[in-house]
Structure 1
Amino acid sequence: MPLPDNGAPWPPRQWAPALAEMAVDDAWYSGDPKRLATVYRGQAQRSDGRRRLWGRDRTPVPGRRENRLHIPMPADVARKSASLLFGESPRLTVSDTTLQGRLDELLDEHADRVLLEAAEVSAALGGVYLVAAWDAEIGPRPLLTSVHADAALPEFRYGRMVAVTFWEELERTGATVLRRLERHERGRIEHGLYLGTPDNLGRTVPLTEHPTTAAVVDSLGPSGTVETGIGQLTAAYWPNIGPNRVHRGSPLGRSDLQGPARDLCDALDETWSSWMRDIRLARARLIVPAGYLRDRGPGQGAAFDEDREVWATLDIPPTEAGAGITMNQFAIRVEEHKATSDALVRQIVEAAGYSPSTFGLDGGPAATATEVEARAHDSMVTRKAKVRYASPALADITEALLQLDHALGFSTLTPERPAVAFGPAVAEDPTSTAQTLSLLAQAQAISTETKVRTVHPDWDADDVAAEVQRIHAETGQAVPDPAPDFVS
């Protein structure tokens, strides 16, 4: 299926609801009050958006700042999700040791950063795309990149992605929009440049009309597309977690904010906005009679402090009883606001599938990794579920990287599909591990090899065997039995 025809509506009608949902999640994730206000004011005409804090019409008043306060809880949830998944880099392994060395080169520190950022975006928007690319100017190797879910139009068959079209808005001048489209199919990548409007794709223009697309012209084959030379898709969809509760049956993943979490985040912002309003209103102000103010002269009024510490004037003679300087200061409802805020944060965390202790809500003394996992049971369950969604995407895109590496002539090694293993979410305390191994050794219930594997779970069989030999040599266990063989 080729790129869209000229004059196609944009975005395509079948994807408009999902993209609108992502726009709301994106506004919360960004933490930008202007974007939140824009999203919810747009919903005010057709829903209860007007009742939300960010859906209320606040006409700007010159000299008055925005009094609504946003607490970046959605971004904190997405960040915590990414750190739970990639606190340690996942281990992708193949059977061939030479190929493993090449794979380690491809999945370097830059690829680790790509995966960490992709995990955070996936939690916020419901999914992300991992894409294999290459650029001769960067080096003789394929590159791991990512595309956010709100910039892609995937095509699924039986729950598996068979093609995807990415887009990027390159320029916007008034009502004119220049878009770049990049369609990935098995064996090829097609590029297109369209000049249209905000809600219409418009017409195709030559790729040479913009530097971004002009760079790929020399790579186009006879069919007008970039031939990848492999039978696998050069993009993989990584859903955050499923199912999508708003669009049931959709192959798209769901955001951590889907459902009541958004309403709770709005209530949290309203609570903090009210708290800050109490603080503003509680500033001490002085009420004085008019005679206490300095007269600026006829028609010039009376002078008062620029910080408005003198708030108002009363037309009362200063000699009258009770007419002196009066201080006015309201109470700040600290405990009420704090209790409400803490309860809302807890509900947001639990609605997203995490344990309150993961966000530091349940304090306590230092604990071992086992105790931490027990406290964070819900977070560990959610993490394990997300690992099941992330692993196939990581294996798919890594296999595509190895195939491209071979097809483009960067490597002569035969590619294979890697195995994916995620590290523990919480590192075990070395002291606790040592005590456990010591007790097992005293009970003669553990071998030296098992002890080495426990301490170094990332080592391969050769490294473990070499370490066991060194330990046996140092402890004298490698000395052969001096007694001759005895045959009865």
Structure 2
Amino acid sequence: MAIKPWPPDKDNWNRIYDKYAEWAAWYSGDPAELLDVYASRIAATKGTYNTIDYNTGYNSIHDSIGQFWAKDIQNQRKTMLHVPVAGDIAGVSADLLLSEPPDIKIPEAHEKTAKEGAKKTQDRLDEIIDEIDLYSRMLEGAETASPLGGFYAKVNWNPKFKPFPVISVAHADNAIPAFKWGFLTEVIFHKIIDIGSYDKVIRHLEIHRPGVIVNQLWKGKTGDLGQQVELSYHPATADTEEQVQTGLKGLACRYIPNKKPNRLWRDSDLGQSDLSGIEGLMDALDEVYTSWLRDVKLAKGRIIVPDYMLELDQETGKFNFDLDREIYESMNMGPVDPENSNQGITLSQFEIRAEEHQKTAYELLTQIYNNAGYSPASFGMNTEGGQIQTATEVKAREGKSFKTRNKKARYLQNGMEDILYILLQIDKIHFNSGIKPYRPQVILQDSIQTDPLEKSDSIEKLDRAAALTTDTKVRMLHPDWTEKQIKAEVTQIMKEQGMDVEPPEIRI
């Protein structure tokens, strides 16, 4: 279970963290995590009837007891199957955004008359990106943002540890932010660094405020912050400074939402989880697959024989019936009475309702993917095997997924540009790198690459129809270019084709 936070509006954050814990359990794919979440709700509402907890916003009796996992706790079922569909959604979300490393560049360093300072900044940025493996870190953030509604990217540094600043990822359920007008103004990052005996929990708090980072160490219990202790109390924070002056006007971190608006908490600036609203569907899917597996187990062929057909195993002392034995010794017994089933062998074989279960599961999966904002085809459903499709055909089939991807891409792109700009500023201030910080440009690669011949063919046909200007053709061919790059390319094309001429003189 996630720890309970400690800001002034604790009741509101309890409500948020309860949902974080639920979504994290579905994302984990671990049945034990789901049991833990729903068992705690059942225990909290035991002995109550139709009670609404105004701190969490849940009618716990209504929301939990009727669910499959909660019922399984009560009924003590032996067969409980979990389908990790939430993990699939998170994985596809990250793949659509970052199927390939993004193109990160300093625009000023790629101009024809680029200054040496801009080129030096580009080289330094490339070096740091390679050293910290930024692509893998952003993949982690993008995947966890899917179930938790967003993630945090923050800049940390220690010249004794690494000769460059590092971008690290913090998950949404390890942070307590404050926003104003949609902008992040302060955030508390909390992390459990040690759990000892008697429920002793050591937490490190990293508090980001404009121009300063405050580090604190607290000794408490699960769900209780406890009391503050010296940073030297634990080896993990022994070399950490209590206060670090960043030299920045703002924060050294950014919150990158999954997508907006947040339908569950419309009054917050938190991003929306892909799992919000589909918990019941995922719960029902687990119930269907569990029922299917139960049918399989019950349908195992069984042979029921009377006692006299059993042999005593001398080693185990148990009576067994050998199915593979071909020759039996003669038995001193009378004729078998057909009305007495105890005298003969009875075969037991139950039917497996495979088709009914498959159709129900298929419908539930379709609804889950659609409600999460994706096309079922992105998960291998409704696909025609063996056929090669163009990028246009793939995008048409998976149109809903790409619309969702484009919504998310804007938030991720802006967030990456912000945090990389902060990284360059920190690098100049604290590492004396001598570079001039420029704001980088981040271009997320399309997960489905369009065939260049297909694109050029479309442009050529429109050009023959006199339906395109040179400016539009350049924009179609290079959708990732900046306005400055597009204008420079248009000017160069017109010069090469003799279209850039001076207007004629008008003589009177």
Is 2:162 the partner of 1:148?
Answer: no
Report if the CA contact (8 A) 1:140-1:410 is conserved: no
Give the direction of change, closer, same or farther, for the CA distance of 1:25–1:247 in structure 2 (3 Å limit). same
Decide whether aligned partners of structure 1 residues 43 and 384 sit closer, same or farther in structure 2, where only a CA change above 3 A counts.
same
Which residue does 2:149 correspond to in 1? Answer: 126
Q: Which residue in 2 is equivalent to 1:24? A: 22
Q: Distance in 1 between matches of 2:312 and 2:400?
A: 67
Determine whether 1:191 maps to 2:215: yes
Q: Tell me the equivalent position of 2:370.
A: 350
User: Do the aligned partners of residues 318 and 201 (structure 1) sit closer, same or farther apart at CA in structure 2, a change above 3 Å counting?
Assistant: farther
Superposed displacement of residue 295, structure 1? 4.2
Match of 1:51 in 2: 66
* Structure 1 position 294 matched with structure 2 position 311: yes
Secondary structure (helix, strand or coil) at the match of 1:319 reads coil
Counterpart pick for 1:74 among 86, 101, 104: 86
1:271 aligns to what SS in structure 2? helix
1:92 CA displacement: 3.2
Determine which of 275, 282, 296 is the counterpart of 1:279. Answer: 296
The residue type paired with residue 253 of structure 1 is G
Q: Could you tell me the TM-score, scaled by structure 2's length?
A: 0.78
Question: Structure 1, residues 355-398: CA drift from partner, whole Å, max 9, x if none?
Answer: 12212212133321112112222112111111222233212211
Shift of 1:286: 0.4
1:227 aligns with 2:249: no
Distance in 1, Cα, partners of 2:202 & 2:162: 30
Equivalent position SS for 2:305: strand
3-state DSSP class of the match of 1:107?
Answer: helix
Question: For the residues of structure 2 that align with 1:419 and 1:458, how far apart are their CA atoms?
Answer: 10
Q: Deviations over 1:264-290 (max 9, x none)?
A: 101111111111111111111101122
Equivalence for 2:38 = 40
Q: Report the more deviating stretch, 380-389 or 442-451.
A: 442-451
Deviation at 1:134, TM superposition (A): 1.8
Q: Check conservation: 2:178, 2:184, Cα contact below 8 A.
A: yes
Which shows bigger deviation, 326-335 or 419-428?
Answer: 419-428
CA RMSD across the alignment: 3.4
The equivalent of 1:100 in structure 2 is: 122
Give the 5 Å matches for 1:296-335.
Answer: 302-304=319-321, 319-321=336-338, 323-335=343-355
Q: CA deviation at 1:102?
A: 2.3
Tell me which amino acid in the other structure corresponds to 2:98.
F
Residue deviations 1:55-85 (CA, integer Å, cap 9, x gap):
1254898xxx951111110000011011111
The CA distance in 1 between the partners of 2:454 and 2:97, in whole Å, is 23
| Cα drift, residue 171 of structure 1 | 1.8
**Cα 1:410–1:426 shift into 2, 3 Å:** farther
Q: Is the 8 A contact 2:309 2:321 kept in 1?
A: no
Which of 441, 450, 474 aligns to 1:428? It is 450
Q: Which of the residues 95, 101, 106 maps onto 1:89?
A: 101
In the alignment, structure 2 segments of 5+ residues that lack a partner are 46-59, 110-118, 325-332, 499-508
Q: CA deviation at 1:94?
A: 2.5
Q: Which residue is 1:15 aligned to?
A: 13
Structure 1: tracts of 5 or more residues without a match = 1-6, 308-315, 479-488
1:203-242 equivalences under 5 Å are 203-216=227-240, 220=241, 224-242=242-260
> 2:35 aligns to what SS in structure 1?
helix
Q: How does 1:434-449 map to 2 (within 5 A)?
A: 435-436=457-458
What is the CA deviation profile of residues 191-239 of structure 1, one whole-angstrom value per residue up to 9, with x for unaligned ones?
Answer: 00111122321111111011111121xxx3xxx4111122231110011
SS at match of 2:133: helix
Q: Equivalents in 1 of 2:170, 2:37: separation in Å?
A: 22
Deviates more, 1:166-175 or 1:155-164: 166-175
Taking only the aligned residue pairs, the percentage that are identical comes to 38
Distance 1:229 1:330 in 2: 73
SS at 2:107's partner residue? coil
